[in-house]
Chains A and B, each alone.
Chain A
Amino acid sequence: MNHFPEAWGRPRDDVYGAYNHSYLQTSGPKTHTMSPAVTGTSVVGIKFNGGVALATDNLASYGSLARFTDVKRLRVFGNQAVVGFGGDVSDMQYIDRLLESIDIRENYSTHGNMLNAKNLHTYLAKVFYKRRSEFNPLWNHVLVAGFDGEGKPFLSSADLLGTTFSAPHLATGFGAHLAVPILRRLFPDEKPIEEVTREQAVSALKDCLKVLFYRDARSLDKYSIAVITQEGIDLKEDEQLESQSWAFAERIKGYGAQTN
């Protein structure tokens, strides 16, 4: 047993090899978040007739460790916008505080909080772009859902570089590979969002989350889902993925009983 405080809580040298002390350095150049630590995975969103639906799972991973299993990655802003966060969780919490202070300030103004999802997205994209230009990025990829100034459903993406784009359905992280193809098949470009019902949208998101849980090792079967309509935000933060079938996994080499 080593009694020096520096050694406390460290992996044992004889088991794990020498500890990389560069992580503890107190001198050298000023460093920023150059890699994320605790992270959230995909965010999936889709527009439908009269609103937008957004979903994430409730996991915050530390590398490959499923560290926190009850982290809410959908954050409500005002009463008609939701931000779904992927990427670094501490940066998410920073942005959340930022948005909360804006919300409070706006609510104290005479007109109340008039900022819609489109305004919020523009603001967030500028924050991201400013921070990346300072070489001090906020390590997130977010989807902003709600309504634009004309009351039309709004769904748009912003990432740590300040890149922005919007589409009828979007997904970040692993979801960009796995969820987007599913959504594009279910709701092709020719089909206007007016023909997509709320039920179809929600069910599609659940399908996407299920596929992500099957194939994304950094995902969880507990999830949050927000449905934003003109009536308000319906946010459920403690959902469970249902009707999973792991039969396919039996055929995967190296899984379960099958070892070679």
Chain B
Amino acid sequence: MTSLMDHPSRGETIGYSFSQPTAAPVKEHSFYPYTDNGGSTLGITGSDFAILAGDTRSTSGYNINSRMVPKVFKIGGDDETGEGAHILLSVVGFAADGNALKERLDTVVKMYKYQHGKSMSVGACAQRLSTILYQKRFFPYYVHAILAGLDEEGKGALYSYDPVGSYEREQCRAAGAASSLIMPFLDNQVNFKNQYIPGSGEGHALEPKKAEPLPQETVKQLVRDAFTSAVERHIEVGDHLQVMIITKDGVEEVYHPLKKD
């Protein structure tokens, strides 16, 4: 083919019925390797627990792929059900990357136990997740990850990430499609932003209400409220709410119905 194309007789002197472009325009790679599968996740910690929740809707554009695709995973469990896990991970964004990331972290946590003869701490796992994400800095895992567990003192620990591995330990974090709807609600209800102690002063002297860890029941209700509200205002969120609660006794997983419209 190449030799035919490079035939010396090719040119204007020979009567082609079509014009010959002098230089063929270089075709660009038009393949875009990402997509957005919608959905939202949310994590809140307490003094002796951490909650990680997410809706189970999977979308492509205006289509609902499935109403039951969980986004919260147990990491480093003893079997495929995740039994015995002490770390939770939620991923939202591009679901294929999310799955790949989950499986990678899960493998790392299991290998760690074989190699060092102890379970990985959440702090160590948090750092490792950061390096995993950063190693793909120039072809990132297109996900917002949240990692949850209990720290060495038994307190709830929550770490949130951007797609390239920046991370921070926080009291609460919302991620994904409806994060901009949920996060301000959390700021107000968990960290008591814009809440003041009544009668503590006038104007700038007004004393802000101090944030402190909330009881588990309150947090559970906050999570459900956050999602019922998000479902009302965001089309990519809905179907079911998956909630995982990690305490010293292990991981509890429950599902609640959400609106399917």
Contacts and interface: CB of A to CB of B under 8 A. Distances in A.
B17 A13 contact: yes
A2 B17 CA distance: 7
Interface string A170-191: 1000001100100000000100
A10 B18 contact: yes
A114 interface: no
A31 B58 contact: no
Nearest to B98: A163
B29 A22 contact: no
A12 interface: yes
A165 B58 CA distance: 8
B68 interface: yes
Interface in B31-77: 31, 33-35, 37, 58, 60, 63, 65-69
B24 A24 contact: yes
B16 A7 contact: yes
B205 interface: no
B24 A135 contact: no
B138 to A, nearest CB: 12
A86 B188 CA distance: 48
B24 A5 contact: no
A240 interface: no
A25 B99 contact: no
A165 B60 CA distance: 11
Nearest to B1: A26
A200 to B, nearest CB: 20
A5 B4 CA distance: 8
Contacts of A133: 33, 139
B124 interface: no
Contact of B20 (A10, A21, A161): A21
A157 interface: yes
B81 interface: no
A137 interface: yes
B5 A13 contact: no
A22 to B, nearest CB: 5
Contacts of A125: 96
Nearest to B27: A22
A34 B30 contact: yes
Nearest to A21: B24
B19 A13 contact: yes
A14 B17 contact: yes
Interface in B65-105: 65-69, 94-96, 99-100
A27 to B, nearest CB: 8
B197 interface: no
A161 B33 contact: yes
A181 to B, nearest CB: 10
B254 interface: no
A22 B24 contact: yes
B21 interface: yes
Given A6-B5, A24-B24, A132-B33, A12 B65 contact: no
A133 B99 CA distance: 14
B27 A164 contact: no
A129 interface: yes
A4 B16 contact: yes
A25 B35 contact: no
Nearest to A33: B31
B35 A161 contact: yes
A165 B69 contact: yes
Given A167-B68, A177-B63, A28 B1 contact: no
A31 B28 CA distance: 8
Interface in A91-150: 125, 129, 132-133, 135, 137
B4 A6 contact: yes
Contacts of A137: 31, 33
Contact of A135 (B33, B66, B68): B33
B260 interface: yes
Interface of A: 2, 4-7, 10, 12-14, 18-19, 21-22, 24-26, 28-29, 31-32, 34-35, 125, 129, 132-133, 135, 137, 157, 161-167, 170, 176-177, 180, 189
Top 4 nearest A-B pairs (CB, nearest first) are: A13-B18, A162-B96, A165-B66, A167-B66
Given A132-B33, A170-B66, 7 more contacts: A6-B7, A21-B21, A28-B27, A34-B31, A161-B96, A163-B95, A164-B99
